[in-house]
Structure 1
């Protein structure tokens, strides 16, 4: 565990107990050279209840052009049947009180269901943002690690070059 603590301290320049859970998790993944899973669908689908899946389905259908067109067609048929075809015996004569009741009930049921789905979408967006943060943090750590490796390699080469220059200087001064 002290190895990962050194890794944490080296990359964040603060002790491990001052890091948040996300930073610790990302550092552990970076230290183990593991990929951070970004499959949001799998993570959220596993947690979704039956009601949440139904709400998402209703919101998906209720917010589509096919639903709007189909509902407009339903309203047109209802209006035509009750004004033209059944002028004498309309089951819902103008001002279409029964249709208003149906529309009110549909709105009363559909609105909270769509709001539930929007809340889940907001939760999904927050989850995706957290995953993006983790991936970006890990990428930054990897870039920092690469910079450190390159710096160490350059320092090693500089040390070797200094030794070569010192050896060549000694050889030249020995010849003179």
Structure 2
């Protein structure tokens, strides 16, 4: 009987700890967060119309409109009210005067459980540090309302380059 209770307790604790474990693929990385604000959604009124990038809008696809992110950019959108997340592709434009940061398709809105609310606070994240570098390259001047931060590769590279140069100089002087 003691063995059965011990096995049940052990299984229970393993289950609890496995549920609390964070996958390295979904772990939050504050450097990937580029914007926070209010999201809305659009649906039937624009269904089957052309988007700003020329494709036909399908309200069930996981797409979105943003003021200035490059078309094709993939973003992870997190509903801050309930923690639901979705990955969307930018294929349309918001008006420059819009107070919202993103307009989501109805399919995304249903996935994020925001249809009844209409608007919700969200966080926008790029999917990788390479994506940050790619988006930076698309701009001559990065808009002030988004944060594109990446690791300081240049500093690490410069330091390594200086070490290599000094080591090379020392080895040449010894000859």
Normalized against structure 2, the TM-score is what?
A: 0.26
Structure with the higher helix share, 1 or 2: 1
Q: Specify the structure having the higher radius of gyration (Cα).
A: 1
Structure with the higher strand share, 1 or 2: 2
Normalized against structure 1, the TM-score is what?
A: 0.26
